């Protein structure tokens, strides 16, 4: 493994490690919690900086000053302790969440930068294992599909990555996807298709 390959591997490990650190579950347990009612609104385009959703708090009675309700968040799901729900209902205080899912979701520059790894067929050197970085400026089809620009030590290419929505699999596993694309080696004219494991730093 030469210096460039070592650098790419260290960078990939760093990106994945940092993302897992920030995606880790909080220390507070949600065992026994009751889910907050959630609805989903589908829109055509969600621009960078737009809210992922809205939590609506509504009081139907007078609430004493200093009253506190703890709402937990895990894997994009809001929940609360049963005793908190009972106290909130008694005071006439309702909470509901509306999430936004878009056909096209844009990102602030530089967008979604992650890693990828897969085998690329190259007639000049045989099948070669490739590890590199991927860049995606947008997320498509309600957060499930990302067009990728792919770069490795000796290839450049384009592809599509497909990710499961965090609502179904949680924040941790929604970073991982499967991609398919086409690579052009920098050392020859023999391009090839590639099936790759894709890692995203963004969650829709």
Residue range 3-23+107-199 in CATH 1.20.120: no
Q: How many CA atoms lie within 13 A of 141 on its CB side?
A: 10
Q: How confident is the model at residue 4 (pLDDT cuts 50, 70, 90)?
A: low
pLDDT digits (tens, 9 = 90+) for 146-180: 999 999 888 899 999 999 887 677 677 788 899 99
pLDDT digits (tens, 9 = 90+) for 19-56: 554 444 444 456 788 887 777 777 788 787 777 778 77
pTM value? 0.62
Contact predicate 78/38, CB 8 Å? yes
Domain ranges of the chain: 3-23+107-199, 34-101
Contact predicate 94/58, CB 8 Å? yes
């Amino acid at each position: 493994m030469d210096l460039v390959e070592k650098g790419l591997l260290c960078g990939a490990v760093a990106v994945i490690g940092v993302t897992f650190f920030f995606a880790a579950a909080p220390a507070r347990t949600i065992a026994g919690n009751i889910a907050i009612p959630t609805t989903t609104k589908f829109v055509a385009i969600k621009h960078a900086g737009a809210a992922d959703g809205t939590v609506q708090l509504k009081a139907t009675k007078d609430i004493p000053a200093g009253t506190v309700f703890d709402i937990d968040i895990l894997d994009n799901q809001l929940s609360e302790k049963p005793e908190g729900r009972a106290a909130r209902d008694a005071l006439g205080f309702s909470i509901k969440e509306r999430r936004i899912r878009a056909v096209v979701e844009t990102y602030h520059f530089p967008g979604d930068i992650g890693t990828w790894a897969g085998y690329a067929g190259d007639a000049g050197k045989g099948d070669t294992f490739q590890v590199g970085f991927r860049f995606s400026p947008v997320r498509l089809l309600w957060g499930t599909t990302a067009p990728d620009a792919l770069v490795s030590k000796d290839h450049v290419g384009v592809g599509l990555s497909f990710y499961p929505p965090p609502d179904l699999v949680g924040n941790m596993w929604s970073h991982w996807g499967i991609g398919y694309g086409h690579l052009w080696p920098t050392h020859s004219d023999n391009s090839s298709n590639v099936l790759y494991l894709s890692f995203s730093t963004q969650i829709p």
